[in-house]
Amino acid sequence: MEKTYCVSCNDVIRDSEIRWAFDDPYCESCFEEGYVYCSRCDGIVGRGDAHTDSNGDYYCSDCWDEQFDDDCPNNPHVSSADRTLIIELSRNWLLGKRTNRSLLKINKNDSMLPKIRDKIGLVEQPIYLFGLKDREEYDLSVSSNLIGSIKEFLLLNGLEWKVTEGVGCNRLGISLSLRQNNFSEVFKLVKYTTQLRIKEIAA
């Protein structure tokens, strides 16, 4: 009679103890080590490919994609600027007033941008900040309505950063090297731009 070998450890497995995964025979311990069952569809998933939720339940990729939205903020960080905004919103709602200030919009996947957002605090006309990869051609990507104030700031501060005109409105993209090495100047640039925006609107 033909013997069955575990495809992982090569041990001989008795027929009653074979565990199958994708047509391959495994011994009990190798199967447990290599595979889990999806807690939703009960399909077999390689342990390395399985997604795990906060309860420790496993999911195959299809079920995970159907059930979980990985972009949703998970226990989001709250800064002092967030607290200031929520209190302002609360009080204004009670008083029947509209809140005109908000925080800068940022791409939250970047580690430096939240620091700039929190330090700038509440502004009346928020701009959108996003991170850029380092490129030879430019350091800043700026929407056309902001480009004048950005170039003015660079000139006044003797900064030779390369600027390109980007799409949309109220958008400022900042290269990785500037975010990492020039935080103070980048902060001042954003503050300057935001204040100018307020003055423009007031005028």
Chain residues binding another protein by CB under 8 A are 53, 66-69, 71-76, 78, 82-83, 85-87, 89-91, 93-95, 98-99, 102
- Rounded least distance, CB 64 to another protein, Å: 9
Sole residue written with tokens 């069955």: 4
Structure-token pair, residue 148: 């004048």
Q: Considering beta carbons, is residue 16 or 54 the nearer one to another protein?
A: 54
Q: Is 186 helix (H, G, I), strand (E, B) or coil?
A: helix
Q: Considering beta carbons, is residue 99 or 164 the nearer one to another protein?
A: 99
* Integer Cα distance of 195 and 189 in angstroms: 10
Q: Considering beta carbons, is residue 20 or 93 the nearer one to another protein?
A: 93
DSSP 59-125: E-HHHHHHH--TTS-SS----HHHHHHHHHHHHHHHTT-----BPPEE-TTSSSHHHHHHHH--BSS
Q: Is 166 helix (H, G, I), strand (E, B) or coil?
A: strand
Q: Considering beta carbons, is residue 29 or 111 the nearer one to another protein?
A: 111
Q: Considering beta carbons, is residue 71 or 137 the nearer one to another protein?
A: 71
- Rounded least distance, CB 99 to another protein, Å: 5
- Rounded least distance, CB 69 to another protein, Å: 4
**One-letter amino acid of 45:** V
- Rounded least distance, CB 92 to another protein, Å: 8
